[in-house]
Structure 1
Amino acid sequence: MARRRVVVVGAGIGGLTAGVALHRRGWDVTVCEQAAEPPVTGAGIGLAPNALRALLAVDVDVTRVTGSAVPDTMGVRRADGRWLTRTATADMAARYGRAPIAVPRPALTVALAAALPTGALRYGTAVSAVEESGGRPVVRTAAGGELPADLVVAADGIHSPLRRAYFPAHPGLRYLGETAWRALVEAPDLSVRDMSETWGRGERFGVTPLTDGRFYLYATATVPADTRSEDPRAELRRRFGAWHDPIPALLDRVDRLDVADVLRHDLHELAAPLPRLHHGRIAWLGDAAHAMAPNLGQGGCQAVEDAVILAHLLPAGESGDGPDGVPEALAAYTAARRDRTDAVRVRARRVGRLGTVRHPLVVAVRDLVLRATPARLALRGMDDLFDGFRLPDRPVK
């Protein structure tokens, strides 16, 4: 029996997860990625319990490739090192069934790509347009290729050309007022066992131990859009070099990196929710559908949820006579995901505002409130995120 065909545009975390999940459902999968090769450098990505649970739902255990080591605690600190809030990861594991982990993004890409069938993932294949022919989408590539499909998954990132093409009246992206730096460093001698984010006045610095023993570092500052420095390493040293240990020692490692290994991006979010997450036989997911601030560590996690739920709602890959149920499944996908992802987007922006306040009095009040919040209440406040992944009922044919 013939199989239904899906073309996934973009081989980021969401796109690869969608490819794997639909392959598990019996679809004939092609993943098109414009980059010439998989990423070999980059940043880390946090996988919260909701994302780990979603991946396991499609039989992907990333820890087999990335490792499963977790930090002892997670929390927020002041620039002098004092903890404002702190939670043991053992308590998180007890509450949610598993603790969050942070993995190198290239390692996660490898783990997901390995779960695809041979030949499904095509690097160096840019998509130029998606057109319709006979009621089905046709994906056209920049090299002149043509890929007919029963479904297209638009996982083409925060600047999604497909989103702009099919939702031209949408306001698009909004600058959040912050720029971010990211880097991976080796520092086995420091024995850092905490995942922390330090809040200053309009600046933040995050230290995340990865499952492979390295550290994912990120920092943000409130600056005008498109602000650039000649050497991001020197900029990080100037802004954060006097902050608490182990930040200065970690910056020593950053100084040893090539300039190109310190990533810098202005932070944006989608200015408003999309009216729906599908159009015809195209479905959007991840940053293409609901780009959000990174403050909750949920951008990639929500992309994973999107992909798994989309595949769950779609019919199995074996095609037959009569209507195939794809339009009904895409409507159910929008109903299942649009409100949840937009609520996470709004919450991420609000949390970011707490980290970017600059007035000394407001900073003092913020820090006091954080210190006064019991750890159990702070943990309970994550229930809707970490325990929020559910597979919805499939639409009735």
Structure 2
Amino acid sequence: MSQPQRIVIIGAGLAGASAAAGLRDRGYSGEIIVLGNETHQPYELPALSKALLLGDAEEPDWVREDGFYQQHDIDLRLGVNATRVELGARKVLDDQGAEHRYDRLLLATGSQPRRLPIAGADSPSVRTLRTLDDSLALRESFGSIERAVIIGAGWIGTEVAAAARRHGVEVTVVDRIAAPLLPVLGAEVAGVFQNLHSENGVQWRLNAEISEISGDTVRLGDGKELPAELAVMAVGAAPRVDLAHAAGLELADDGGVAVDAALRTAAPDVYAAGDIASQFHPRLGRRVRVEHWANAKNQGTHVAGNLIGEAEPYLNSPYFFSDQYDLGCEYRGLADPDTDELVVRGDLAKREFIAFWLRDGRVSAAMNVNVWDDGDALKRLVDGRLAVSPQTLREGDLSSVE
């Protein structure tokens, strides 16, 4: 594969910016154009629901330091939306009237928050959390209100609830599921997080539907009303694939852009990375689409090599972390808590433990909670899908498992 003269990247988030930086880190000297719809320099997302929202930081972690893009001759165009991709003509059109021809194209358009299809979902008192501006506005609001309702008990919802409580806001979390984080962690481990939030004053309305948001009231399906000066909708994110779909690229059943193990689409010289990439993962033997921070960062860095001639499969296991009150955790892999066997090492009640999920006797996922010495061993267990007995996981030397 010959070296491309011009690479166009649509999306200036973590995946797109990491790819651009990775190209220069690999010595690529051709033209790089990055189109981003935000006006901020590329930044990482975790702090938006953690340190920044808590008030422990005043800015996010930037993908690269100020001046990097100019110094490395990366044409970073902020506040610019790509409006059309013409695969046959190999060009991208934007809302400024410019046309960008490419030799290789990377789609890294990220995700956007979902909203429930209910009355009042778009009212000014309903917020979402996805961007730096969202986080700053939400933090400011937490300093001036008394009551908030968080709609959604997933990772973003629970982190926002923890931040709101730090600011002294009365918080009620509403979700149709029976426990926070239940689809990801299963009932036993989800109970740890539910108890943690309850101890910190969060009120729960679980197994509940929302019928309407009106003014300062969130109305449930059973007619009960929850007073709230602010509602935060944290019901997941949708991959931003309209551009890819309109161009004729194949979409996978999970809603993402279908790519192979090396993050290539079926269209010549077109790649996708980050939230939108539905990758055939060689280690898992199936397609996966991961919306977490590490996936965007690592896929962006990885795909840089493939954009300039490599064809290496992306093999990293999914990874994310969360901080809530005095609980910190890291999660590696992909578990199905409905069918995988849960094995716990440590003490759930003390919130110091490692949870393992086993599938056919092999480790499909592991989560360490307030335990920080076994990260390398956990990564090896998950990456290698190693066969190991529950007894060894509970009490044995994890570093010796082969």
User: The TM-score by the shorter chain falls in which range?
Assistant: 0.3 to 0.5
In terms of fraction of residues, the more helix-rich structure is 1
Using CA pairs below 8 Å that are at least 6 residues apart, which structure has the higher relative contact order?
1
